[in-house]
A = this chain, B = another copy of it.
Amino acid sequence: MTGAFDAFSPLCPSRSVVDDVTDRWPALVLIALLEKPHRFAEAARTVGGISDRMLSRTLTTLVADGLVVRTDHGEQHVEYELSASGHHIATALKGVVTAVYDVMPEILQAKAIAASA
């Protein structure tokens, strides 16, 4: 692979990070933060369909992983922004979403065929 890490091995520390990052909510939240720092409620609005609970939990783990930085500005004003590591990963994730957009026509066609079969 690239060197010391191997995401295919369940024992490699990189595996758990890959698992964390390639989960539905973490992935979407990271991409959302890529655009700009978000406040809690703001992030909830950006990422459609996420509940307060999941957003809270997701942000907590991302902060624990050092991918997101939480800053308490007081006055009930908290901001979440990407760390350098988080930015690096979020950019890659955005690439995945972009790739999905690229091939959506083919995917929709494949699904249509599957559905009609």
Which residue of chain B is the closest to A113 with respect to CB atoms? B66
Q: Which residue of B3, B48, B96 contacts A92 across the interface (Cβ within 8 Å)?
A: B96
**A66-B111, A110-B66 known; A96+B96 contact, CB < 8 A:** yes
A89 at the interface (CB under 8 A from B): yes
Q: Once the chains are docked, how many angstroms separate the CA of A90 from the CA of B19?
A: 15
Q: Chain A contact residues (Cβ within 8 angstroms of B): what range?
A: 35 or more
- Distance in Å: Cβ of A91 to nearest Cβ of chain B: 7
Copies of this chain held together in the complex: 2
29 pairs of residues in contact across A and B, judged by CB atoms under 8 Å: A1-B101, A2-B101, A7-B28, A8-B32, A8-B47, A10-B48, A14-B100, A17-B107, A18-B96, A18-B97, A18-B100, A21-B100, A22-B27, A64-B110, A64-B111, A64-B114, A65-B110, A65-B111, A66-B106, A66-B109, A66-B110, A67-B107, A84-B103, A85-B103, A85-B106, A88-B102, A88-B103, A92-B92, A93-B96
